[in-house]
Amino acid sequence: MLPEELKDLQNAVKKAKHSATGKVGELHDPGEDRLPAAYQEIPAVSRATCNACLAWAEASAKPMEVEAAERT
């Protein structure tokens, strides 16, 4: 794999982490600031948070797979 391609994968990891971190903050907000009124928001926000964390995990695995393959 070209160094530029690996850099693109690493940038995708950073973007996915940023997105997941933002979703975690969104999940925190209803509990911190608006409960009990905002309890109905929690399922949708938690699903979005879980999906963002899954995307981060998947993005994180790709550069590690590439680096492991290049070592063999």
Looking at residue 16, its pLDDT comes to 97
61 domain-assigned: yes
Asked if residue 33 belongs to a domain, the reply is no
* pTM, rounded to two decimals: 0.80
* Domain contains 59: yes
Give residue-wise pLDDT tens across range 10-68.
999 999 999 999 999 888 877 777 888 888 888 999 999 999 999 999 999 998 888 88
For residue 3, name the pLDDT band (cuts at 50, 70, 90).
confident
Question: Does residue 55 lie within any of the structural domains?
Answer: yes
Residue 50: CA atoms inside 13 Å, Cβ hemisphere, count? 6
Number of separate domains in the chain: 1
- Is 30 contained in some domain? no
Is the residue at 22 inside a domain?
Answer: no
Structural domain of residue 46, as residue ranges? 42-72
Token readout for 39 is: 């309890």
Examine residue 46 and state whether it is found in any structural domain, yes or no. yes
Instruction: Please report, for residues 22, 53, 54, the alpha-carbon distance to residue 15 in angstroms, rounded to integers and kept in the order given.
Output: 11, 11, 13
On whether residue 68 sits in a domain, the answer given is yes
